[in-house]
Amino acid sequence: MTATRRDLVTGIVITVIGVVYLSATFAIRETADIVTPRTFPQIVGAGLIVLGLFLAGQSVWSARTGQGRPHPAEAEAASQGESGAEPAGGVLIDAPPEPAGRRVVVQFALFFAYLAIVIPVGFVLSTAAFLMAVTSLYAPKKWIRNLVFSVLFSVAVYVAFVFGLAVYLPVGILG
């Protein structure tokens, strides 16, 4: 099975799961609040539908324009000259290496440290520190970008929850 066909099947399956999930959210009892118990599940269901349709549409478009990706085993065989087939439309890029075991352990340690400090320190500061540490594991030389991303993302999520959804997050030492 080619990668584009696999993407099409995956997109259709994700879309069907999204439709079933979204229809199940209507069984959740409504409340008078602005944000009801069914709000987040409906967002997730709609997101699954949109992303599933996007993946299916992208695979159909790739197949029609001839830019489909061959199966990774076929691509490797073609690149080694074992097959007469040329890789279709583009450059094959090797997948990034799997994360080292030490890096995964450090990520878990950072996550548990984050859980321990999020309430006393506050959401914005602890999330910014956590994101800075995690992004620095993967791109240590781009610390300015990591810092900007960490601070902006933390503040954006805080503002979205507090002002948009009226869900209060821990303020910690800032409050």
pLDDT tens-digit series, residues 113-163: 999 998 899 889 999 999 999 998 888 888 899 999 999 999 999 998 888
Residue 17 domain-assigned? Answer: yes
| CA distance linking residue 34 with residue 174, whole number of Å | 27
- Residue pair 144/130 in contact (Cβ under 8 Å)? The answer is no
- Residue pair 75/92 in contact (Cβ under 8 Å)? The answer is yes
- Examine the domain organization and report whether 61 and 105 are in the same domain: no
| CA distance linking residue 67 with residue 55, whole number of Å | 14
- Kindly indicate the confidence band of residue 16, based on its pLDDT and cuts at 50, 70 and 90: very high
Residue 49 domain-assigned? Answer: yes
- Residue pair 73/83 in contact (Cβ under 8 Å)? The answer is no
| CA distance linking residue 118 with residue 157, whole number of Å | 14
- Residue pair 28/39 in contact (Cβ under 8 Å)? The answer is no
Question: How many domains does the chain contain in total?
Answer: 2
- Examine the domain organization and report whether 68 and 110 are in the same domain: no
pTM greater than 0.75: no
Q: Which domain holds residue 74?
A: 3-79
Burial of 77 (0-12, 13-18, 19+ CB in 10 A): middle
- Examine the domain organization and report whether 111 and 74 are in the same domain: no
